[in-house]
């Protein structure tokens, strides 16, 4: 059966349009479009309360936030990171003149493997940039222990990890800085947007200056900053989205549960471990297509696409396979066997709050019938 309308791997949750109009009217009335307007300030406060953090700086997108986070911590030299992520993770390093050093990932979580980090440290290493892949928390304690021993900074790419918890609370409290993405494909979105979570007011002040060209007051520039500010329209969207976020995450959870139930008996299809609702936001639903499945991963991808179902091979190719990275010694595939294998097997199925059970049945029947 071919879908009447194409199904995508994720779709943004859009609240009723008539609820967004009053926000736009206020923006038109007060004539403040950017530069830390009232909705910007309200969203920072509301997100801080929801996420359980004190110091949050909103950005125009998550990539600019990553670039600025590295600037804020004055990171130089080499940074140890994962090849299994979206390219923005490593691109932010190159934009700062920093050399990425790739290490392999854990086979269960597909997050950076702490056991591989120490061997990659050199006299030029100044930081670690892990990713909470698919919103699953990294082994933060092991990573912090290594960073403390070698006096390294930690910047978490938490693009997928909005609202994710661990046993001690919000995952964003770990590391020196954590960076969120509010892109339209994320669990919480502001159309485009992002944020940096800071440990204290001093760090937030430096970040807020850097995202506004380095301005300190009207006449003084104190740092080579960038234009990373979030607009009032984006902030208004965020305030409205936040009213529905718990409902949206619950809807994603229902899709996750349905997939797991229907795919558990399909030979050659492996789901990543269920981390449980306390630590998950159900931002993605990745499966691994093993060698004992009748079709290869790419053939299954094409079969679904032929039926109007657009899955995604997140993350394939590996970052380390792209031209600007593959010449690095750490990018050689023999150094990254787990990440290389995962990239060749991974397929993320559609997941969003309004995905219906009928559609899930069709997707899983197509997979099971191969």
* Cβ-proximal residues to 328 (8 Å cutoff; 6+ apart), any chain: 99, 100, 101, 102, 320
Count of Cβ atoms closer than 10 Å to residue 306 Cβ:
10
Residue the block writes with tokens 């970052």: 319
What is the pLDDT at residue 1?
A: 65
Domains of the chain: 17-242 (3.40.640.10), 245-368 (3.90.1150.10)
CB 349 within 8 Å of CB 362: no
What is the pLDDT at residue 275?
A: 79
**What average pLDDT score do residues 269-279 get?**
83
**What average pLDDT score do residues 235-240 get?**
98
CA-CA-CA-CA torsion sign (136, 130, 90, 225): positive
What is the pLDDT at residue 278?
A: 64
Give the mean pLDDT of the chain.
96
What is the pLDDT at residue 14?
A: 85
For the cut 80, the answer to whether the pLDDT of residue 298 exceeds it is yes
Strands 346-349 and 177-181, by their bridges, are unpaired
Q: Which of 12-21, 32-41, 260-269, 325-334 has the lowest mean pLDDT?
A: 12-21
Q: How many Cα atoms sit within 13 Å of 71 on the Cβ side? A: 24
352 three-state secondary structure: coil
- Dump pLDDT digits (tens) for 168-205: 899 999 999 999 999 999 999 999 999 999 999 999 99
315 DSSP 8-state letter: T
What is the pLDDT at residue 221?
A: 94
What is the pLDDT at residue 280?
A: 86
CB 111 within 8 Å of CB 286: no
For the cut 90, the answer to whether the pLDDT of residue 6 exceeds it is no
For the cut 80, the answer to whether the pLDDT of residue 2 exceeds it is no
What is the pLDDT at residue 216?
A: 93
Strands 285-289 and 269-271, by their bridges, are antiparallel
What is the pLDDT at residue 15?
A: 87
- Dump pLDDT digits (tens) for 12-45: 888 899 999 999 999 999 999 999 999 999 999 9
What is the pLDDT at residue 186?
A: 95
CA 16, CA 21: separation in Å to the nearest integer?
9
**pLDDT-based confidence at 152, cuts 50/70/90?**
very high
Q: Which of 2-11, 71-80, 291-300, 331-340 has the lowest mean pLDDT?
A: 2-11
The pLDDT > 70 percentage for the chain reads 99
């Amino acid at each position: 059966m071919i879908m009447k309308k194409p199904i995508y791997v994720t779709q943004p949750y859009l609240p009723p349009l008539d609820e967004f109009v009053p926000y736009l009217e206020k923006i038109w009335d007060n004539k403040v479009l950017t530069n830390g307007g009232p909705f910007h300030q309200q969203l920072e406060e509301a997100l801080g309360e929801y996420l359980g953090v004190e110091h949050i700086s909103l950005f125009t997108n998550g990539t600019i936030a990553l670039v600025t986070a590295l600037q804020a911590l004055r990171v130089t030299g080499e940074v140890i990171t994962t090849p299994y992520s979206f390219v923005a993770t490593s691109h932010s390093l190159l934009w700062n003149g920093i050399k990425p050093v790739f290490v392999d990932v854990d086979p269960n979580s597909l997050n950076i493997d702490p056991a591989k980090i120490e061997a990659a440290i050199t006299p030029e290493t100044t930081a670690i940039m892990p990713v909470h892949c698919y919103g699953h928390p990294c082994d933060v304690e092991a990573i912090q222990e290594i960073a403390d021993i070698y006096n390294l900074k930690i910047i978490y790419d938490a693009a997928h990890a909005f609202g994710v918890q661990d046993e001690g609370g919000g995952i964003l409290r770990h590391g020196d800085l954590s960076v969120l993405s509010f892109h339209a494909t994320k669990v919480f979105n502001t159309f485009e947007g992002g944020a940096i979570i800071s440990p204290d007011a001093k760090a937030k002040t430096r970040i807020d200056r850097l995202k506004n060209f380095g301005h300190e007051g009207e006449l003084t520039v104190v740092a080579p900053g960038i234009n990373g500010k979030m607009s009032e329209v984006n902030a208004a969207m965020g305030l409205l989205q936040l009213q529905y976020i718990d409902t949206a995450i619950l809807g994603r959870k229902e899709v996750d549960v349905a997939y797991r139930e229907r795919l558990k008996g399909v030979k050659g299809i492996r789901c990543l471990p269920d981390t449980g609702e306390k630590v998950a936001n159900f931002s993605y639903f990745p499966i691994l297509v093993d060698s004992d499945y009748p079709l290869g991963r790419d053939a299954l991808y094409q079969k679904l696409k032929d039926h109007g179902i657009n899955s995604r091979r997140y993350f394939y190719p590996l970052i380390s396979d792209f031209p600007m990275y593959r010449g690095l010694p750490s990018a050689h595939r023999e150094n990254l066997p787990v990440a290389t294998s995962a990239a060749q097997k991974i397929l993320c199925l559609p997941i969003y709050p309004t995905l219906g059970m009928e559609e899930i049945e069709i997707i899983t029947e197509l997979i099971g019938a191969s």
